[in-house]
Chains A and B, each alone.
With several copies, the nearest count.
Chain A
Amino acid sequence: MFGLQSECMLHVPEQYHTLSDYEGAQPRWCPSCGDHAVLTAVQKVCREKQLPPEKTVFVSGIGCSSRFPHYMRTYGFHGLHGRPFPVAEGIKFRRPDLDVFVATGDGDCCSIGAGHWIHAIRYNMNMTVMLLDNEIYGLTKMQTSPTSRKGTISNTHPHGSILPPINPLVTTLGVANVSFVAQTVDWNPAHVFSTLMAAHAHPGFSFVRILQRCPHFSPNLYSDEISNPDLTVLLTHENGIEAIPEVQKMYKNSVEHDPADINQARELAQREDLVPIGLFYCNPEQEQYDKYGASNIGFSPQQKSDALNVELDKYAV
């Protein structure tokens, strides 16, 4: 039964992958949903980096955004609401050869998944995380999310929500061992692309919050930001997200911010007047739990047997 070929370092056939190699099922999101743009950017990142589809895994929870894996032609794990992180960690733990992406929603990550989110930041395993934050529950039809602004009218708060929203960036920046925090917006595909390129290149848990439009339930949520680029502030730095001329031209407001400076990162992330996009924090030196996971893989049956025999000896009568 277990006589299969054993470890996982097989050569992948050399072959150039085109965009369509990464295209899975036809997306079922609403036509002008912000998720489409992110999907396209991700497929471009995959092609740019020529990720082998069979060595790439997209993990998600439940939600509109969590349908993401189905629309990629890679391996995918569309699991339980709120639980993408533990699954992604388990996948990565003993498989350093796999590229792991997580697609999650604001409910999935910040509400039911909050505990796992905090711990995933701390585990700092090498994976790219996209929080598709539309500030609402999409799939279940418009309930308040922890990132919904105070006063949001939703089906669970028809008279307006009560609490100020969680700021996923500030929260992430407050967790020990945090190693990469960025923000981008679905309506600027070039910036989404370069942000995800940087996130993927970072060795560790790369957390990218993507402001994502849900025209179906919140048609006007980001319309000010979209129509007026001055409401956005671009974070620039030589160690930040790669500068793209078209993006730089678009946003007059920019701040030079060293992503090594966590204190300034927190202050910037806290801003409520403008939407900062770019890299808030990056520290490639943090402890990586996936390195621990990969520390003793590939033992031969004989090695395992020997170790077990040593143990049995200890308990021999």
Chain B
Amino acid sequence: MLKGNSDELAAPENVSSGEEKTGIKVMPVEECIVEIVSDAGEGAQKAGQSFGSVSAKMGNGVWTVEIIPAEVQPPARSRAGASGIRIRFGSDKVTNMGDEADLVVAFNEQVLYGRIDQKAYREGTIILIESKWKESKVPEIQEEYALAMQEFKQYGFDVREIRMEEECLKFVENPSKGKNMWVLGMLCSIYARDIEKAEAQIRHTFRRKSKKIIESNLLLLNAGYNWASKNLNLRFQILSEAESVSKVVMNGNEAVGMGVMAAGIEVCSMYPITPATSVTHYLSEVFEKSGGLVHQAEDEIAAIGFAIGASYAGKTAVTVTSGPGMALKTEFIGLATMAEVPLVIVNVQRGGPSTGLPTKVEQGDLLSAIFGQPGDTPTVVLAPATIEECYHFVILSRQLAEAFRMPVIMLTDANLATGVQPFTRPEINLDSFSPPIDQSPWKKEIRPYEWDEKTGLSQRPIPGQSDGMYVLTGLAHDEESHVAYDSHINQLGCNRRSRKMAAIFKTLSPPTVNGDEKGDLLVVGWGSTLGAIEEAVNKARQMGGSVSSLHLRFLSPIEPGLEKIFKRFKKVMTVEINYGDEENDPLITSENRRRSQLSWFLRAHTLTDVDFLAHIHGQPMRPGFILQRLKKELGL
């Protein structure tokens, strides 16, 4: 442990529990939500990520999520510019970002307003705020700050004004650069984090930087720690059970990227688009070492065409995109379905329609993934619900794509993309690295689409296989892949492609119900909302509500048994980050009400009057928001 180059700095002893030397009472808590908010570029995210990692390493459950402004460089000290991170951590597994924060470190008061607008805080939330603005040379700033302090207190926040930069100045010349590490130190003290783990984390984060930078960051870390230990009467303890399984911690886009490698995929073809691009940033860095390459194409159409070409040639391929990019891939997805080319398509959903909300979360691409194609185009659509599943579902997607010779669309979203959570370190299965390629001679008598009558399955020849030559086409074709416009051939081809969906359906088992198998209310969700839904449902159950939940991973084909399950509940409703008309909106009747996507889909599928709770706030679903509705529904 580095002592710093100043003698003043004495490393604090490791905090265990109970009463500290300083006489401050250590509060044991089950979980905490902490935020760091700042202008863009002030390093709040780096501090928060380190804090999350340290907590994970200490055996806590963790969920971190970035707070990202829309612009590259929004104006300083502005509501819209709020940039930062939220870390929710606790003794048990943490599955979502939760509701209001318990404590927030703010680099100025304006960004805090941005978060207040988002309802990120509650009465009693502790606010640790940089107080240098009080003495700002710009009178407006002084005024703004003073006004804010008044208002914050009125809101009932527990405000602590701290001269952070001044403290940093004691150790470094330019405090604006390292303040985030000082804050990290402060938080480590408040939450009794293992300072050695924090130091190790800093060394890792800055491993590519100069020794001087690392040293100065460590210095500030310890300074913050010491300052807080001496000057703040805040000390919390989050216990954790020591876990025996080894874990990894990453965000959903990194998990997808690693899943691509684990799936044995060789080609990742993409065009940059938020919030999907970071999957490929990650891959661009490391993919080469595992025998794969990222191709940045000239546009999304070329990206999927390239992936289809690679797959046709026997190389496993994925294309990664988001809403507007999906729209452009529409025609090629149809070709892959028609000509039965295996392909994994990852859509990290963002807010729509159109360019919409590039950095924000939504689940609005569900119906377009299933029905977006002209003509009958059976497509597999599946959705991971956790960061861990982001990893494993890529492997699953590839397996389905290969086995059923069709494109598989995997829908994640901006919430999974940037959320960070530890999960059990996956076991590597060497089998999944086998290429699909087989260059042994093709049996001449087998046709390139020799569809099994029952399952629609067929074996595909790959260039290089002698006697396998055929010409793939997106026109209607017979089993030889010859263009054929005859009525019965078109009917046959469509039928065989459709039958594969029934074959996949047969392999699925009904989803498990969280809670009782029957009751008053069943909540159905999909994708990133799993954690928030289950948390809310479990709380409502604790309050005596007769409510259960069910989470779908397969949307197309949809998982079996739903109608039966639905029948056992008095009411079924979905929870979605999607648009739906409110019942009591003007002009809206139950007849013309435009329903949220999953609820609409389930109505057709089960003929059940499925209701919904939906919003398009560009924010993850919060458990409290869901709970509120559950209480209303259940009369709690």
Q: Is chain B in direct contact with chain A in the complex (CB below 8 A)? A: yes
Known contacts: A86-B297, A93-B267, A140-B272. The answer to whether A8 contacts B72 by CB under 8 A is no
Cα separation A25 to B469 with both chains bound (whole Å)? 12
On whether the beta carbons of A73 and B469 are closer than 8 Å, the reply is: yes
Instruction: Please give me the residue from chain B that is nearest to A97 by CB atom.
Output: B464
Instruction: Please give me the residue from chain B that is nearest to A13 by CB atom.
Output: B466
Classify the interface of chain B: helix, strand, loop or mixed: mixed
Residue B422 at the chain A interface, CB threshold 8 Å: yes
Instruction: Please give me the residue from chain A that is nearest to B480 by CB atom.
Output: A25
On whether the beta carbons of B355 and A299 are closer than 8 Å, the reply is: no
Q: Which of B228-236, B470-478, B567-575 contacts A (4 or more CB under 8 A)?
A: B470-478
Known contacts: A115-B298, A159-B288. The answer to whether A90 contacts B466 by CB under 8 A is no
Q: Which of A77-85, A186-194, A238-246 contacts B (4 or more CB under 8 A)?
A: A77-85
In the complex, what residues of A have CB within 8 A of residue B281's CB? 155-156, 158
In the complex, what residues of B have CB within 8 A of residue A13's CB? 466
In the complex, what residues of A have CB within 8 A of residue B296's CB? 143-144, 156-157
On whether the beta carbons of B56 and A91 are closer than 8 Å, the reply is: no
On whether the beta carbons of A8 and B74 are closer than 8 Å, the reply is: no
- B307-329 interface mask toward A, CB cutoff 8 Å, 1 = contact, 0 = none? 11111111101000000100000
Cα separation A52 to B247 with both chains bound (whole Å)? 50
In the complex, what residues of B have CB within 8 A of residue A25's CB? 482
In the complex, what residues of A have CB within 8 A of residue B299's CB? 82, 111-112, 115
In the complex, what residues of A have CB within 8 A of residue B439's CB? 5, 7-10
On whether the beta carbons of A69 and B471 are closer than 8 Å, the reply is: yes
A312 CB, nearest partner CB in chain B, Å = 6
- A305-317 interface mask toward B, CB cutoff 8 Å, 1 = contact, 0 = none? 1011111100111
In the complex, what residues of B have CB within 8 A of residue A111's CB? 271, 298-299
The number of chain B residues with a CB under 8 A from chain A is 101
Instruction: Please give me the residue from chain A that is nearest to B438 by CB atom.
Output: A4
On whether the beta carbons of A75 and B435 are closer than 8 Å, the reply is: no
In the complex, what residues of B have CB within 8 A of residue A155's CB? 277, 281, 284
A296 touches which of B293, B399, B436, B473 (Cβ 8 Å) = B293
- B454-488 interface mask toward A, CB cutoff 8 Å, 1 = contact, 0 = none? 00000001011111111111110000001100000
On whether the beta carbons of B307 and A75 are closer than 8 Å, the reply is: no
Known contacts: A54-B463, A116-B302. The answer to whether A304 contacts B261 by CB under 8 A is yes
Residue B199 at the chain A interface, CB threshold 8 Å: no
- A136-169 interface mask toward B, CB cutoff 8 Å, 1 = contact, 0 = none? 0111110110100000000111110000000000
On whether the beta carbons of A296 and B305 are closer than 8 Å, the reply is: no
A54 touches which of B74, B270, B306, B464 (Cβ 8 Å) = B464
Residue B280 at the chain A interface, CB threshold 8 Å: yes
Instruction: Please give me the residue from chain B that is nearest to A33 by CB atom.
Output: B73
Residue B346 at the chain A interface, CB threshold 8 Å: no
Residue B113 at the chain A interface, CB threshold 8 Å: no
Residue B510 at the chain A interface, CB threshold 8 Å: no
Q: Which of B370-378, B426-434, B546-554, B611-619 contacts A (4 or more CB under 8 A)?
A: B426-434
Residue B294 at the chain A interface, CB threshold 8 Å: yes
Known contacts: A93-B267, A116-B298, A156-B281. The answer to whether A7 contacts B435 by CB under 8 A is yes
Known contacts: A13-B466, A143-B277, A301-B434. The answer to whether A296 contacts B313 by CB under 8 A is no
Residue A201 at the chain B interface, CB threshold 8 Å: no
Known contacts: A28-B74, A312-B425, A317-B57. The answer to whether A78 contacts B272 by CB under 8 A is no
On whether the beta carbons of B468 and A90 are closer than 8 Å, the reply is: no
Instruction: Please give me the residue from chain B that is nearest to A31 by CB atom.
Output: B73
Cα separation A93 to B483 with both chains bound (whole Å)? 28
In the complex, what residues of A have CB within 8 A of residue B309's CB? 59, 77, 86-93
On whether the beta carbons of A83 and B438 are closer than 8 Å, the reply is: no
Residue A198 at the chain B interface, CB threshold 8 Å: no
On whether the beta carbons of B312 and A315 are closer than 8 Å, the reply is: no
Instruction: Please give me the residue from chain B that is nearest to A161 by CB atom.
Output: B296
Cα separation A57 to B472 with both chains bound (whole Å)? 11
In the complex, what residues of B have CB within 8 A of residue A301's CB? 264, 430-431, 433-434
Residue B262 at the chain A interface, CB threshold 8 Å: yes
In the complex, what residues of B have CB within 8 A of residue A76's CB? 469-472
On whether the beta carbons of B293 and A293 are closer than 8 Å, the reply is: yes
Cα separation A91 to B463 with both chains bound (whole Å)? 9
Find residues 201-218 in chain B having any chain A CB closer than 8 Å to their own CB: none
B306 touches which of A9, A87, A97 (Cβ 8 Å) = A87
Known contacts: A298-B291, A315-B249. The answer to whether A6 contacts B435 by CB under 8 A is yes
Known contacts: A28-B73, A304-B261, A316-B248. The answer to whether A77 contacts B312 by CB under 8 A is yes
Residue B581 at the chain A interface, CB threshold 8 Å: no
In the complex, what residues of A have CB within 8 A of residue B303's CB? 86
On whether the beta carbons of B310 and A90 are closer than 8 Å, the reply is: yes
On whether the beta carbons of A78 and B475 are closer than 8 Å, the reply is: yes
A87 CB, nearest partner CB in chain B, Å = 4
In the complex, what residues of A have CB within 8 A of residue B247's CB? 316-317
Instruction: Please give me the residue from chain A that is nearest to B297 by CB atom.
Output: A86
Residue A173 at the chain B interface, CB threshold 8 Å: no
On whether the beta carbons of B430 and A75 are closer than 8 Å, the reply is: no
In the complex, what residues of A have CB within 8 A of residue B294's CB? 156
On whether the beta carbons of A309 and B434 are closer than 8 Å, the reply is: no
On whether the beta carbons of B335 and A80 are closer than 8 Å, the reply is: yes
In the complex, what residues of B have CB within 8 A of residue A86's CB? 297, 301-306, 309
In the complex, what residues of B have CB within 8 A of residue A295's CB? 288, 293
Known contacts: A87-B306, A91-B463, A317-B56. The answer to whether A28 contacts B312 by CB under 8 A is no
On whether the beta carbons of A80 and B464 are closer than 8 Å, the reply is: no
Residue B564 at the chain A interface, CB threshold 8 Å: no
On whether the beta carbons of B249 and A317 are closer than 8 Å, the reply is: yes
The interface centre, meaning the residue of B273, B295, B482 with most chain A CB atoms within 10 A of its CB, is: B295
Give 16 A-B contacts (CB < 8 Å), ordered by A residue: A8-B314, A31-B73, A76-B470, A79-B308, A81-B355, A115-B299, A118-B298, A158-B285, A292-B293, A296-B291, A299-B290, A307-B290, A307-B291, A308-B258, A312-B425, A317-B56
Q: A5-B440, A83-B301, A311-B290 are in contact. List 16 more A-B contacts (CB 8 A).
A: A2-B264, A2-B435, A7-B439, A9-B439, A54-B469, A55-B464, A80-B305, A91-B463, A93-B293, A156-B270, A156-B296, A158-B285, A159-B284, A216-B72, A304-B291, A317-B247
A interface residues (Cβ-Cβ under 8 A, vs B): 1-10, 12-13, 24-26, 28-31, 52-55, 57-59, 62, 64, 69-70, 72-83, 85-95, 97-98, 107, 111-112, 114-116, 118-119, 137-141, 143-144, 146, 155-159, 216, 292-293, 295-299, 301-305, 307-312, 315-317
The 7 closest A-B pairs by CB, nearest first: A90-B309, A299-B291, A86-B305, A76-B471, A307-B290, A2-B434, A4-B438
